[in-house]
Structure 1
Amino acid sequence: MDLFGIQKMNISAGSGRTMRVFIVHAHPEPNSFNGGLTRAAQGALSAAGHEVVISDLYAMGFNPVSDRRNFTTVGDANYYRQQAEEANAAAQGGFAPDIQAEMDKLFWCDVLILQFPLWWFGLPAILKGWVDRVFASGGRIYGGGKWYDRGVFAGKRAMCSVTIGGPPPIYSSRGLNGPIDAILFPINHGMLYFVGFTVIEPFLVHAPARISDGERQMWLDRYRERVLSLVHAPTITYPKLADFDDNHVLKLA
Structure 2
Amino acid sequence: MNVLWVFAHPEPRSLNGALRSHGLSELAAAGHRIRESDLYAMGWNPVVGPGDFGHDPRERLLVGARSEHAHATGGLSADIRAEQDKIAWADAVVLQFPLWWHGMPAILKGWFDRVFVQGFAFGVTGPGGRTLRYGEGDLAGKRALAVVTAGARGSGLAERGLHGDIQQLLFPLLHGTLFYTGMQVLPPLLVPGADRLTASGGEAAAARLRERLRTLDTAEPIAYRPETGGDYGDDLILRPHLEPGRTGLDVHDRTAPAARPVPAGAR
Mark yes or no: TM-score above 0.5: yes
2:143–2:183: 8 Å Cα contact kept in structure 1?
Answer: yes
1:76–1:85: 8 Å Cα contact kept in structure 2?
Answer: no
Query: Residues 72-151 of structure 1: matches in 2 within 5 Å?
Result: 72=54, 74=55, 78-137=59-118, 139-143=119-123, 144=125, 145-151=131-137
- Measure, in 2, the Cα distance between the counterparts of 1:226 and 1:170: 22
Question: 1:168 and 2:148 equivalent?
Answer: no
CA shift at 1:168, angstroms? 1.3
CA shift at 1:155, angstroms? 0.8
CA shift at 1:146, angstroms? 2.5
Structure-2 residue corresponding to 1:248: 236
CA shift at 1:97, angstroms? 0.4
Structure-2 residue corresponding to 1:231: 217
Fraction of identical pairs, as percent: 43
CA shift at 1:252, angstroms? 3.4
TM-score (norm 1): 0.88
| AA of the residue aligned to 1:128 | K
Paired residue secondary structure (2:34): strand
CA shift at 1:76, angstroms? 8.9
Equivalent residues, number: 233
CA shift at 1:209, angstroms? 2.1
| AA of the residue aligned to 1:226 | R
Paired residue secondary structure (1:122): coil
Paired residue secondary structure (1:86): helix
> CA-to-partner distance for each residue in 1:44-96, whole Å, 9 max, x for gaps?
11122110111000000000001112123x38952111101111112211110
1:117–1:124: 8 Å Cα contact kept in structure 2?
Answer: yes
Paired residue secondary structure (2:9): coil
Question: 1:22 and 2:4 equivalent?
Answer: yes
**Deviation larger for 233-242 or 28-37:** 233-242
Structure-1 residue corresponding to 2:264: none
Structure-2 residue corresponding to 1:217: 203
Paired residue secondary structure (1:189): helix
- Measure, in 1, the Cα distance between the counterparts of 2:220 and 2:190: 14
2:141–2:183: 8 Å Cα contact kept in structure 1?
Answer: yes
1:27–1:34: 8 Å Cα contact kept in structure 2?
Answer: yes
TM-score (norm 2): 0.84
Structure-2 residue corresponding to 1:158: 144
Structure-1 residue corresponding to 2:255: none
CA shift at 1:174, angstroms? 2.4
| AA of the residue aligned to 1:45 | L
2:96–2:147: 8 Å Cα contact kept in structure 1?
Answer: yes
Structure-1 residue corresponding to 2:14: 32
Paired residue secondary structure (2:191): strand
CA shift at 1:229, angstroms? 1.2
Unaligned 5+ segments in structure 2 are 126-130, 242-267
2:50–2:57: 8 Å Cα contact kept in structure 1?
Answer: no
> CA-to-partner distance for each residue in 1:204-243, whole Å, 9 max, x for gaps?
1001221210121111022112112101123211111122
- Measure, in 2, the Cα distance between the counterparts of 1:56 and 1:180: 24
Paired residue secondary structure (2:3): strand
Structure-2 residue corresponding to 1:13: none
Runs of 4+ in 1 over 4 A off after TM superposition: none
> CA-to-partner distance for each residue in 1:178-225, whole Å, 9 max, x for gaps?
211211111100111111100001111001221210121111022112
